[in-house]
Amino acid sequence: MKRREAREKAFQFLFQIDINDNEPKAAMQDYLLENENDRFLKDLIEGVTEAKPAIDEMIAKHLENWTLDRLPAVERTILRLATFEIHYMEDIPANVTINEAVELGNVFGDEKSGKFINGVLSKVIK
C-alpha cells in the first residue's frame, strides 16, 4: 500500500478511536491483523497511540484561541498523525507530512480544515 493510502487508513482508524473513545489496544490488534503487511500503517497507528500524551502537548502549545478538546475530531486526529510523523519519523521530510495532512483535511474536513492544519503544523515544526 502506498504511504498516502496508509495515512488515510491510519487517520480513519485513529478518528474512530477518538470519537468512540474506544480502548485502542483491542481495536488496534483487530485492525492491524487485517492490514498486517503494511509496516508504515502499523508504525503510524501504534506510534500515535503510544505517544498521544506527548503529541497532544506539542499541538496544544501551538493552538491559538483553541484547546485540543474543542478542536473538531477530524482536525485533531490529522494534527496528531502529522505531529507524530514530524517528531518521530525522521525519514519523512516535514513539508511532505504537512502536504499530506492538508490533503487529508481537504478530503475529510471542511473548506477551512486544510488551511488551519497547515497553520498549526507550520508552528509545530519550528
Domain-by-domain residue ranges, the chain? 3-124
Residue 76 has pLDDT above 90, yes or no: yes
Torsion, Cα 87 111 99 72, to 10 degrees, reads 20
Query: Mean of the per-residue pLDDT values for the chain?
Result: 89
Specify the amino acid at residue 58: M
CATH superfamily of 3-124: NusB-like (1.10.940.10)
Section 49-53 average pLDDT: 93
Section 82-103 average pLDDT: 95
For residue range 11-33, list pLDDT tens digits in order: 998 998 888 866 666 666 666 66
Section 108-112 average pLDDT: 92
